[in-house]
Structure 1
Amino acid sequence: MSEHQPVLPDPAASRAVLIGTSSYTDPAFPALPGVENNLDDLARMLTSPHGAGLPPENCVVLHDPPDQIGVGSQITRAAAEAEDVLLVYYAGHGEMTWDKKNELCLTMRDTMPDSLRTSALRCEDLRHYLHRSRARTRVLILDCCYAARELPDTMSASSSVIEHVGVKGAYVLAAAYGKALAPAGMRNTLFTGELLRVLDEGVPAEPTMLLTLDALFREVLASLRGQGHPEPSCNHSNNAAWLALAPNAAHKIHRALQDVEARLAELDEVEARTTAACDLTIDRIKDSGLPPFVPAAPGLRQRLKALQAMAMGGRRPEEAVLGALDADVTDAGAAAERQRLRAEEPLATRHELRQRLDLYRLVAAKEGFAEEIDLRRKYDVAWNLLWVKPCDLPAAVHAVEASVQAVVRRRERKRTENQR
């Protein structure tokens, strides 16, 4: 990671392990239903092309693991595979041993309160897993009680658990010094819910195209502090603070890119209707004279992807280039609408001719001469031209007019005869 340059994880070279315990065997640990949603929502963000963009297979989700053994093996595997970023997340009950060493333990489904060190994941063990990773940047997110609690018995007065688990080239986010909150009725736990909100909405005041961990932490801290909730803490080393987990969705360039993407989706629908109209007319109308219709959306989308890739790399696309793309999307939509109307016109003409032919057929039937040989022959010629594809439209116009005029003349003749 280059100094002072926000960057997203390299998807192929990064790994994430998301651990969460929402239900427990021992009744001493209340259930945390929001934790399962935490895992689902965070995994969705990390694997989204609008987030970190990790392949799903590089993001392991461990919901309600029974003990620390399987968890440790998953973290060890991810630590060995990760070359760029290793992210480990935990949500659940954090418990202190409250003894001479006073360790933080991350509870699992079958954790027993009286045997935390053997039935839970010790934070000290987690630190060793992270230390052994060859990843350039390691991120640890702890959404549990006591995640940032000071331990004066084992450290200096300024030390805390987040410093204790800190590793070189790392960023640690901790939910609270004391009790972390999981309010009833909320989809997520309080801390993770705020993380997800900021990742999804972005930070308007941040000037960068990507939402760095530092910007994420500052916004979450300000939000929770403003609401009077427990305040999170962070600790980092080297340039880890410049790692981003998502684009800054609130940046005006990202909003403009999203607007163009939405308008391209609308253009897809418009061009699909135009293509269908052209295909139908070419199939049903002989020598329609329609020019070939080539959808513009695929080419425009390639241009958009190039700009999105630039933005995802932290580079700001030129507004003039983005504006030109936006204008071209507008022009393509207008052109497609004009082509669709042109394609539908021959079919509309054929429909009107059919109605006119049928109307005068009813007139002839009402007058009692519909089956006369000359009228029947003219009607059949027009009908065949209109109902057998491809329709020779000029010939059909002539044939319908001949059939109509034959009915008009025959009706006038009948009226003359009746007047005698």
Structure 2
Amino acid sequence: MTGHDPRGQANRALLVGVSEYDLTEPPYGVPGDLPAVRHNLNRLRDALRRGRVFREREITVCRSPDQVDFGRALRTAADEAEGVLLLYFAGHGAIPSAGDELFLQMRNASVVAGGHAVFPGAEMFTTVLTVLAASGARRIVVVLDCCFAGNAAWIWETFRDKRRVLLLMSVQANHRIDAGDPRTPTPFTDELVALLDNGDEEVWFRGLADAVRARMTGDGHRTVRGDPWEPQSRTEPEEDVLLAGASGGGAGGRFPWQRGDAGTGRTPDAGALGEERG
């Protein structure tokens, strides 16, 4: 296992959450605002601070940026990172009918449907990966909490410079997910933060990915179409990276924890995190 501990290096975390959209009405609007995403950013920022891999000045929170502001923030984080570079995105995701690209929809996003749907104001995941791969960071972590997040897996698999990139996706390909209660974080990020805040043990990417999948499936979460909600991950064999340190006194292992008790799934309460057009 090639586990990279980036503590003490120049690390960067860019947390992007689009909770408000300029255009939400038909025929060109996205499905709606996502108030739950506001809570995602606060909770994740605090969890990363407590994990002590990222210093406070190394965490940038980007709230409902437009496409230009997102691109600027992404390039800045990529240029500055030397240890680990973390990109987190929560908001609407969209795919064309072929499902061969994932569009991360920023505040100024709109949708032009048709035989070849286009998504103005959205960033292609291929472009995001290209910018990230230009960074000098030793490891790059991408976390996507949006509809169709799993469609990023194919893009990662065909990306030439993927060795340093570790990808965590909130749901399997071609699935829409519900944003949950607007008063709380989205279901996936709620579980993610709870696991990152496990102060007794170090939290490594692979263990985190396994644990969040176990919690989501064990609690009976379902996608919009009613299938089991199964977060996905992609890494090169043997790659891993530390995302949160132990608070002291813990075993310091690679976080093999999985919860055995199965609860009930969260009842859908707000808009889904994306749409498919094409």
**TM-score with structure 1 setting the length:** 0.51
Q: Is the 8 A contact 1:142 1:173 kept in 2?
A: yes
Report matched runs for 1:305-316 at 5 Å: none
In the aligned structure 1, how far is the partner of 2:57 from the partner of 2:7?
14
| Greater strand content | 2
1:83 offset after TM fit, Å? 1.0
Matched letter for residue 103 of structure 1 = E
Structure 1 segments unaligned to the other structure (5+ residues) = 151-158, 204-208, 256-310, 315-420
- 1:34 aligned to 33, 36, 39, which one? 36
Counterpart of 2:157 in structure 1 is 163
Q: Is the 8 A contact 2:65 2:106 kept in 1?
A: yes
Q: Percent identity?
A: 30
Report matched runs for 1:12-411 at 5 Å: 12-27=9-24, 28-48=30-50, 51-66=51-66, 68-98=67-97, 102-114=100-112, 116-149=118-151, 160-164=154-158, 167-177=162-172, 178-185=175-182, 187-201=184-198, 209-229=201-221, 230-237=229-236, 239-241=238-240, 243-248=241-246, 253-254=249-250
1:77 offset after TM fit, Å? 1.6
Cα distance change of structure 1 residues 32 and 162 upon mapping to structure 2, 3 Å threshold? farther
Task: Give the SS at the match of 1:237.
Answer: coil
Q: Deviations over 1:58-116 (max 9, x none)?
A: 211110002x22211211121111111111110001011325x7421001111011275
- Structure 1 runs of 4+ aligned residues shifted over 4 Å read 3-6
Q: Is the 8 A contact 2:156 2:162 kept in 1?
A: no
Counterpart of 1:354 in structure 2 is none
In the aligned structure 2, how far is the partner of 1:11 from the partner of 1:44?
19
Matched letter for residue 21 of structure 1 = V
Structure 2 segments unaligned to the other structure (5+ residues) = 25-29, 222-228, 254-278
Task: Give the SS at the match of 2:43.
Answer: helix
Ranked by relative contact order (alpha carbons within 8 Å, sequence separation 6 or more), the top structure is 2
Q: Between Structure 1 and Structure 2, whose CA radius of gyration is higher?
A: 1
Cα distance change of structure 1 residues 149 and 4 upon mapping to structure 2, 3 Å threshold? closer
In the aligned structure 2, how far is the partner of 1:32 from the partner of 1:135?
31
**TM-score with structure 2 setting the length:** 0.76
Task: Give the SS at the match of 1:254.
Answer: coil
In the aligned structure 2, how far is the partner of 1:199 from the partner of 1:248?
10
1:164 offset after TM fit, Å? 4.5
Q: What is the Cα-based RMSD across aligned positions, in Å?
A: 2.6
1:54 offset after TM fit, Å? 2.0
Matched letter for residue 31 of structure 1 = D
In the aligned structure 2, how far is the partner of 1:46 from the partner of 1:125?
26
Task: Give the SS at the match of 1:62.
Answer: strand
Q: Is the 8 A contact 1:11 1:52 kept in 2?
A: no
Counterpart of 1:352 in structure 2 is none
Q: Is the 8 A contact 2:105 2:122 kept in 1?
A: yes
| Greater helix content | 1
Q: Is the 8 A contact 1:32 1:92 kept in 2?
A: yes
Q: Deviations over 1:128-170 (max 9, x none)?
A: 01111111100000000111138xxxxxxxx634534672212
Cα distance change of structure 1 residues 82 and 22 upon mapping to structure 2, 3 Å threshold? same
Matched letter for residue 43 of structure 1 = R
Cα distance change of structure 1 residues 73 and 6 upon mapping to structure 2, 3 Å threshold? closer
